[in-house]
Structure formats: C-alpha cells, structure tokens
Amino acid sequence: MYGWIWRHLPGNAWVKALLSLMLAMIVVYVLFQYVFPWAEPLLPFNDVTVDNQ
Amino acid sequence: MAATTDTEHQEHAGEDGPPDPGAGRRGRGPRRIVAQTVSVFGELLITAGLVMGLFVVYSLWWTNVVADRAADKQAEKVRDNWAQDRVGGGGPGALDTKAGIGFLHVPAMSEGDILVEKGTSMKVLNDGVAGYYTDPVKATLPTSDKEGNFSLAAHRDGHGAKFHNIDKIDKGDPIVFETKDTWYVYKAYAVLPETSKFNVDVLDGIPEESGKKKAGHYITLTTCTPVYTSRYRYVVWGELVRTEKVDGERTPPEELR
C-alpha cells in the first residue's frame, strides 16, 4: 500500500519524501479537523453531565 | 511481521535496480499474492495504530488548545462588557449574558478562573467553559437570589479540562462565583466520588444525597470520573457562606488571596 504510493509519486527520492510528508500532513489535518470531531461524541470518553438519556 | 519486511525488501530491490521486464514482480504465482496480501494487511494494522495514537493526541492535547483559545476569547468579551458597563453606567443591552454569566474560582482545583455559560450541551462545554444546567433540572442562578441549586458541569479531560482536578476539592474548600458586581462565596460541604450518570437527583434544588433537608443556596459541580473515561460522575456540593460586593478594583475576597 505505502510501497504503491511511493512508486507512483513523481520525482527522485527527495521529491518523493517531501510529497509523502505533505500527504501525511494533509491526512493529519483532515483527521483533526473533520474525522475526530465527528467520532468523538460517538465514543464514551467525554460525557460529563448527569441526565436521563 | 517477518513476511512483510521480506516483501518490502524484495520490492525495493526490484525498484532500485534498472527495469527488468522479464522477471515481472507480479509474475511469481500464488506465493506473491499471499505475500502482498499479508503486507497490505500489516500496513493497515500499522495505520490503524497510528490513527488511534493520533486520536489520543487529539483528545488530550489538541482539544485543550482549541478550547482554551475559545474560552479566553469569550472571557475577554465578558470582562470587556463588564468594564464598559462600569464606565457607561449600563445603557441598553448592558446585560449581555450570551457570552457568559460569570467566572468560577476554585483555588483547590485550578489556578485562574473558569467562565460559566448557559447550558451543558457538548457545543457549549467544548469551548473550555463550565455550563449551568438547563436540563434535566434547571439550575437556580445565584444572581436570582432565590433558594436553589446552582448546578454546573465541565470537562474532566480534553476541551479545556476545566474540572480535571475536581478530586482535589475537600470539604471546607472555597468555591467562589464572580459576577459583574458580586462575589458569591460557597464552601464545599459534601463530595460524591462516584455515582451513576442517571443520578439526576444530585441536581435537585435541595440535594438530599448531600445530606441537606432544607432549602438553601447550593452549588453543585459535576464531571465525569474516573479520569479519561465517562463511566461515572463525580459530584461536589457547596453552600453559600456569604456574598461580597465587587469594588472598583475587583479585589477578590480573602478566600482567593
């Protein structure tokens, strides 16, 4: 999987490394900005109130 | 794991050398397919581990950064409003409580102040503030001067983690609520270290579980426990000792000095 991505990135090893880093950063951004905020309320870690639900 | 590594070595070896059309890497039959499958599966597992690790970083660090930023901004707005009212003598729109109604000071739990806003929805609490209950039991605000229970909730971990050290509050510790012109000094008198999340009775106007039978001016802090989970709720009750007028310098009451 990662090997496949590496092989399909253009340029020499340095360019590939830079592109990989950018890809990784985009993934982290999407996770922090969209995926985790969406997933968090679905997980039972942070309910602080008492209620009858 | 060994199989994965081996495969990767082969792949890289094939990649670094000159193109070799004869020995196509996909042309080696079922063994190749098995190796490839194992490799992809291993990489997926590693990815899953990384994502979970990132989620922990997100929960325990990033949400605090975001929440503290939001809370600081809102707190500043409240302070600004108060200061303007003082100068301008309180014209129309003087009481803008949307940004928050006041600040909670609990020296035993945390340095600094905690902004208090209306409601205990995740949307409110995720801004790194404490919220007063509107549901299932409506909180009685101290500013109303009525007898009742001023019930609050805030996050234990992440999103500002304002009540993280709630277990440091002992009986007798002061809990001070600051509004525009009054300091409400409460004293913690009962702690319930573990209760069900369905136990809404702790929010009652007269919280009987704390041992009180008569109406009075109470304050209730709730959050989740044990830390990093939400299995139970932690509750601290306090009772109003006295109130103090805020002076020109906003000198804090002696409990906070």
Provide, rounded to the nearest whole percent, the portion of chain B with pLDDT above 90: 69
| B37 found inside a domain | no
| Distance separating alpha carbons of residues B165 and B193, to the nearest angstrom | 12
> Could you tell me the CA-to-CA distances from B147 to A26, B150, B183, B215 in Å, in that order?
53, 9, 17, 6
Confirm if B197 and A47 have CB atoms less than 8 A apart.
yes
pLDDT, tens digit (0-9, with 9 covering 90-100), for B4-30: 444 444 444 444 444 444 444 555 688
| B74 found inside a domain | no
pTM of the model: 0.80
| Distance separating alpha carbons of residues A40 and A44, to the nearest angstrom | 8
| B25 found inside a domain | no
- Pick out chain A residues at pLDDT < 70: 52-53
Cβ-defined contact of B157 to A51 (cutoff 8 Å):
no
pLDDT, tens digit (0-9, with 9 covering 90-100), for B171-196: 999 999 999 989 999 999 999 999 99
Residues from chain B contacting residue A40 (CB–CB below 8 Å) = 59
* pLDDT(B86) > 60: yes
Q: Residue B157 is part of a domain; what is its CATH number? A: 2.40.260.10
The number of domains in chain B is: 1
pLDDT, tens digit (0-9, with 9 covering 90-100), for B156-169: 999 999 999 999 99
pLDDT of B135 reads 86
* pLDDT(B122) > 80: yes
| B29 found inside a domain | no
Asked whether this complex has an ipTM greater than 0.90, the answer is no
Three-state SS sequence of B111-177:
CCCEEEEECCCHHHHCCCCEEECCCCCCCCCHHHCCCEEEEEECCCCCCCCCCCCHHHCCCCCEEEE
| Distance separating alpha carbons of residues B38 and B31, to the nearest angstrom | 11
**B249: DSSP letter:** T
Pairing of strands B114-118, B148-153: unpaired
| Distance separating alpha carbons of residues A45 and B11, to the nearest angstrom | 42
| Distance separating alpha carbons of residues A40 and B229, to the nearest angstrom | 12
Provide, rounded to the nearest whole percent, the portion of chain B with pLDDT above 70: 84
| B86 found inside a domain | no
Alpha carbon of B144: minimum distance to chain A alpha carbons (Å):
23
What average pLDDT score do residues B35-53 get? Answer: 94
pLDDT of B109 reads 93
pLDDT of B13 reads 43
Q: Which residues of B are catalytic?
A: 224
| B15 found inside a domain | no
pLDDT bucket at B149, cuts 50 / 70 / 90: very high
Residues from chain B contacting residue A44 (CB–CB below 8 Å) = 229-231
The continuous run of DSSP H or E covering A8 comes out as helix A2-8
The identity of residue B141, as a single letter, is L
| B12 found inside a domain | no
- Its domain, for residue B141, covers 96-256
pLDDT of B96 reads 56
pLDDT of B27 reads 57
* pLDDT(B93) > 60: no
pLDDT, tens digit (0-9, with 9 covering 90-100), for B200-251: 999 999 999 999 999 999 999 999 989 888 889 999 999 999 999 998 889 9
Torsion of CA B77, B100, B244, B216, to 10 degrees: 180
Q: How far is CA B130 from the centre of its chain?
A: 8
Give the residue, B99 or B42, on which the prediction is more confident.
B42
Confirm if B106 and B185 have CB atoms less than 8 A apart.
no
Confirm if B229 and B219 have CB atoms less than 8 A apart.
no
Q: Is B85 an 8 Å CB contact of chain A? A: no
Parse chain A into domains and list their residue ranges.
1-38
Burial of B53 (0-12, 13-18, 19+ CB in 10 A): exposed
Mean predicted lDDT score pLDDT of chain B:
86
| B239 found inside a domain | yes
Alpha carbon of A48: minimum distance to chain B alpha carbons (Å):
4
Q: How far apart are the first and last CA of chain B?
A: 60
Structure tokens that stand for B241 in this block: 């000792």
